[in-house]
Structure 1
Amino acid sequence: MLLLALDTATPAVTAALHDGSRVVAESTQVDARRHGELLLPAVDRVLTEAGVKLDAVTGFVVGIGPGPYTGLRVGLATAAAFGAATGAPVHGLCTLDGIAYAAGRAGLTGPFTVATDARRKEVYWARYADPRTRITEPAVDRPADIAERVADAPAVGAGALLYREVFTDVPEGMPEHQSAGALASLAAEKLAVGEPFPPALPLYLRRPDAQVPANYKVVTPK
């Protein structure tokens, strides 16, 4: 097994290679505006460090969000292109699940909430019984609207750090953004026991910022 994982659903542009037992190479840069520019160089660094070519990869893992439209589609399109070029399968995983898994590796047992920054004064979030068990569907909300639902447990992620007035228990040393190494490790565990994966399709949860104006007129040639 040789899994290449990537995720661009958070400000972290992250890629990692996993051999079925451990992460053999990982590259992460945090830059919310340069996902398209940074992802392929990150993949190249990971493959070079591991001393393998892309065609040696037996499977791809991609974070499907939730995340902002522009950044999220970079990782998904790249994973789809790699899968088409090599014939290797592409496995989707919820980005929040990867962060929850990383929180478990950092010592958090559960229950807890994962919250990432959704911009527009909102967060993407989900609740977890433990680092491997999500108990709510991913959602996007204003923090104040979910305050009662998240008050009884710790929270991790950039969204929790942004809104400390709502997420009052944010343990130190927990992940802020996604780690492709954690995503790859989670995928390797799931593959080993035959657990299903969600489709490698985006979880946008809301409409993109760019939309056709309401009074847009179609001009056709005469």
Structure 2
Amino acid sequence: MLLLAFDTATPAITVALHDGADILAESTTVDARRTGELLAPGITAVLTAAGRKPGDLTGVAVGVGPGPFTGLRVGLVTARALGDALGIPVHGVCSLDVVAYQTRSAEPFAVATDARRKEVYWAQYTDYLTRATEPDVAHPALIAERLTGLPVAGEGALVYPDAFPKAIEPRYPSAAALAELTVRRLHSDPESLLFPEPLYLRRPDAVEPGTRKRVSTS
């Protein structure tokens, strides 16, 4: 196995390479404005560091969000293009699950990532492997009471400390964790892996203009 994993659902453009047993190389850059510029060099960097080439890959793992439209689309389009070009499977994983996996918590907690527009993408977890609710998007104040007393991982807990006072690490998903979680699911529960489609949860900020009105000449 040689699995390339990457996630662009947050400001962290994170890439890793996994051989089925260990992480061979990883690269992470935090820059929400340059996802399209940084993902391809990150992929090249981990392949070069591991002494491998694209043709060696046997699969791709990609974070499907939830996340802002533009950055998430870059990651999903890249993953699917690689899968098509190389004839290899592409496995999707909820990016909130990746953050949860990194906590290694055996106790209940939540994950909240910054969704902009003064909202968060969030979900509750029974432990680091078990999500208790479906991913959702909401204003922090609307879910603060529901999450009272729970530790909250993700950037949302740091951006909205009044709503989520018990912030825990990590802040962003890690491609190394994404790779490890994907390998784990491939071995134990392949059906839990997702189709590589973006989980937006809301409409994008940019919309196509409507039909132009005709201007009367009379």
TM bucket, shorter chain? over 0.9
- Regions of 4+ moved over 6 Å: none
1:90 Cα deviation after fit: 0.2
1:178 to 169, 173, 176: 173
Q: Which amino acid aligns with 1:207?
A: R
- Asked if 1:199 is matched to 2:195, the reply is yes
In the TM superposition, residue 213 of structure 1 has moved relative to its aligned partner by: 4.0
CA distance 1:218–1:89, change in 2 (3 Å): farther
Q: Which residue of 2 is the match for residue 64 of structure 1?
A: 64
C-alpha separation in 2, matches of 1:115 and 1:216: 40
State the Cα deviation string for residues 16-49 of structure 1 (Å, max 9, x = none).
0011111110000000010000000000000000
Partner Cα distance (2:195, 2:214) in 1: 35
RMSD (Å), alpha carbons: 1.4
Question: Quick one: structure 1 residues 218 and 76, their matched pair in 2 at CA, closer, same or farther if it must change by over 3 Å?
Answer: farther
Q: Percent identity?
A: 57
Tell me whether 1:154 sits opposite 2:157 in the alignment.
Answer: no
Q: CA deviation at 1:218?
A: 8.1
Gaps of 5+ in 1: none
Alignment-derived partner of residue 190 in structure 1: 185
What is the SS of the residue equivalent to 1:149? Answer: coil
In structure 2, what is the equivalent of residue 208 of structure 1?
204
Supply the distance in 2 between the matched residues of 1:30 and 1:9 (Cα, whole angstroms): 11
> CA offset at residue 195 of structure 1?
2.9
Q: Which whole-Å CA distance do the structure 2 matches of 1:218 and 1:98 have between them?
A: 50
* Deviation of 1:110 (Å): 2.3
Aligned to 1:46: 46
Cα 1:213–1:154 shift into 2, 3 Å: same
Q: Measure the CA separation in 1 of the matches of 2:106 and 2:57.
A: 32
The secondary structure found in structure 2 opposite 1:182 is helix
1:192 positional shift = 1.4
TM-score (norm 2): 0.95
Superposed displacement of residue 170, structure 1: 1.3
Counterpart of 1:110, as a letter, is E
Counterpart of 1:85, as a letter, is: A
Once residues 183 and 218 of structure 1 are traced to their aligned partners in structure 2, the CA distance between those partners, rounded to angstroms, is: 51
Q: Match of 2:167, SS?
A: coil
Q: Paired residues, what number?
A: 214
What SS is found at the alignment partner of 1:38?
helix
- Where does residue 118 of structure 2 map in the other structure? 121
CA distance in 2, matches of 1:24, 1:148: 42
User: Any stretches of 5+ residues in structure 2 without a counterpart?
Assistant: none
